[in-house]
Structure 1
Amino acid sequence: MKTLIVNADDFGLCDGVNAAIIDAYGAGGLSSATLLVNGRAAAAAAALARHHPGLGVGLHFNLTLGQPSAEPAEVSDLLDAAGAFPSRTELARRLLRGRVSAAQIGRELEAQLAAFARLGLRPTHIDSHQHVHAFPPVFDVLARVCAERSLPLRQPWVARPGGARARLGRTLRSAALRWMNWRNRRHWHGRLRSNRAFTSVFDLGLPPARLDAGHYRSLLGAVSAFPCELMVHLSRRPEDVDGLTRIGGVSYAEWRCLASGALAEVIAEQGWHLRSYGNAFDGGPG
């Protein structure tokens, strides 16, 4: 089946993101979101999710923004001197040097899952903020828990439609991500339910200031494996996410397009079946 999951990251980051996600869901172009349990608007996001039960909500596992959900003394490998999560660059450096224990990653994951449950929700799946779970030491911890609990886990496959060009730095990061995806897939093949394809407006190269149906038509038209996840980031105003993320302009452009119903029209036009991670899989692990 030509199955599509349109997932909005960063639910709970702030009120502007929460409102934008509900706008897109109401317009018919969104089926899923992933919740940052330590986001400043996490409780408000959970309340919105309960009011819109058709919206699938997963855990947006976070190791690079804000404070931990576990006791700081239990996850010191994951924190900076101020007791907060470090940047993705610093996290990657520690992982590459073997300075982060799997046990501490596991403690933080369990703490975030417990926080998710306290918000009155059950996760449909797990992904991560800034794709940190693509790093093999993190992926292995999440994969084990997902396999045990029959939770789908996002695989952030790299796609690039024909003609799209990217800056050198992003090209190098994409090459590294391809290698990590290959390694993770090889280690966990047959034991996890994961999306078979993945795309986002970042696969266009430098995302344009204004997005329209044609951009999403190009992205989705290049997909040949299912289920596919289309990752989106949404915010009603670029400034809503100042100091929280560097993609405020992209989030605003995506919100304008999805809230207008343009993506819903592309989904219908191309014959996609819109699902969440909770109902996207007919069979078992793949």
Structure 2
Amino acid sequence: MSKKLIVSADDFGLSEAYDLGAVKAYREGVASVLSLIVSTDEAPRAVELRNRRCPEAQLALHVNYCAGRPVSDPADIPSLVDERGLFHRSSEWVQGPMGDPKCQGSVSPTFEDLLREMRAQVCRYEELVGAPPRRVEAHSVMTEEMLRAFAEVGDELGVHNESIQGEESPTLRSCGECVPEGGRAAKLALVARGCTPEDWESDAFGILGCPYEIAILHFHPGYVDQRVVDCSSLVLARCRDLQTLTDPRVRAWVEANGIDLVDYDAVYRD
């Protein structure tokens, strides 16, 4: 049985320039899914771009809790927003037991607010895309309360979500995110610098040894504009991801190792 791989271009909908790069990574590279942030002003244009340039590309829902404005009324999710009604940046969040190094502050979003905003983003996704998401995942940070919210929304919708890692069920095949040797710290370091063709050729992500039937990788391939600079701490690494995912050496490595590029439909049993 060949290894199946989902390569997600995260943050689709972040900015006009970034979205053009993400579509290039799908059309000319190895990205197999575009993961859509629905809370941005750019999101409707991102969906239109996808519909026009690559309508076959599957969209996942990239739930955003830390950049820009929420979909919900800010008054309904007080632990997630500041006095201006904007999301607290990830650097303002409490690090918590999951130990995300970006989180160096004192903000602790509640399960209730996280769940309310996630449901609002699911509804927004359906308005924009015309169908419910097949996958729901997190942007930038993760907490135990977020995992609880993902599990609840996943159960409500019957869709694959971030709280499921390697689980088999009557409806879902096993799949999970690849973590390179060195664990979460190594993964975050790779994200911060952007991936290279040499990372693929050396299997730095552990794709070939992934214990799951379907492996998942997340990247941020895109061009950079002022919107990206203003709202994200991840900037130049996006350009490197785009260059790498469209590099012929990466496509050649995938094919040489008999890897099938798939989207989240592969996770669901017929």
Give the TM-score normalised by structure 1. 0.76
In structure 1, the partner of 2:7 is: 6
Alignment partner for residue 195 of structure 1, among 175, 179, 183? 175
Note the residue ranges of structure 2 that are not aligned, 5 or more in a row: 99-105
Question: Quick one: distance in 2 between partners of 1:98 and 1:209?
Answer: 27
Q: Aligned equivalents of 2:186 and 2:84: distance in 1? A: 32
RMSD: 3.2
Which of 127, 130, 148 is equivalent to 2:140? 130
Percent sequence identity is 21
SS at match of 2:255: helix
CA distance in 2: counterparts of 1:98 and 1:86, whole angstroms: 8
Partner of 1:252: 239
* 1:74 matched residue in structure 2: 76
Match of 2:223 among 231, 236, 239: 236
Between 11-20 and 118-127, the greater mean CA deviation after superposition: 118-127
Is the 1:8–1:234 Cα contact (8 Å) retained in structure 2?
A: yes
CA distance in 1, matches of 2:175, 2:229: 31
Unaligned runs of 5+ in 1: 156-183
Equivalent of 1:148, from 140, 156, 171? 156
Alignment of 1:85-234 (within 5 A): 85-92=87-94, 100-122=109-131, 123-132=133-142, 135-154=143-162, 193=172, 195-199=175-179, 203=187, 205=189, 212-217=196-201, 218=203, 219=205, 220-234=207-221
Determine whether 1:265 maps to 2:252.
yes
Task: Find the residue that maps to 2:129 and give its secondary structure.
Answer: coil
CA distance in 2, matches of 1:126, 1:112: 10
User: Per-residue CA shift, 1:237-272, capped at 9, x if unaligned?
Assistant: 476621222221111011112223433222211111
2:171/2:269 contact within 8 Å kept: no
Q: Deviation at 1:209?
A: 6.5
Q: Secondary structure at the match of 1:196?
A: strand
For the structure 1 residues 6 and 195, does the alpha-carbon distance in structure 2 shift closer, same or farther, using more than 3 Å as the test? same
Q: Give me the whole-angstrom Cα distance separating, in 2, the residues matched to 1:98 and 1:254.
A: 31
Instruction: Give the aligned length.
Output: 252
Q: Which deviates more, 193-202 or 146-155? A: 193-202
Instruction: Write the deviation string for residues 91-137 of structure 1: whole angstroms up to 9, x where unpaired.
Output: 336999996443322211111111111113431201111132xx111
Q: Give a deviation string over 1:36-68, Cα, whole Å, max 9, x none.
A: 112232111111232323211111111111111
Task: Give the TM-score, by structure 2 length.
Answer: 0.80
Cα distance in 1 between the residues matched to 2:170 and 2:114: 20
- Residue 279 of structure 1 aligns to a residue whose secondary structure is helix
Within the alignment, does 1:26 sit opposite 2:27 as a pair? yes
- Offset of 1:197 from its aligned partner? 3.2
SS in 1 for 2:175: coil
Contact 2:40 2:69 in 1 (8 A): no
The aligned amino acid for 1:254 is D
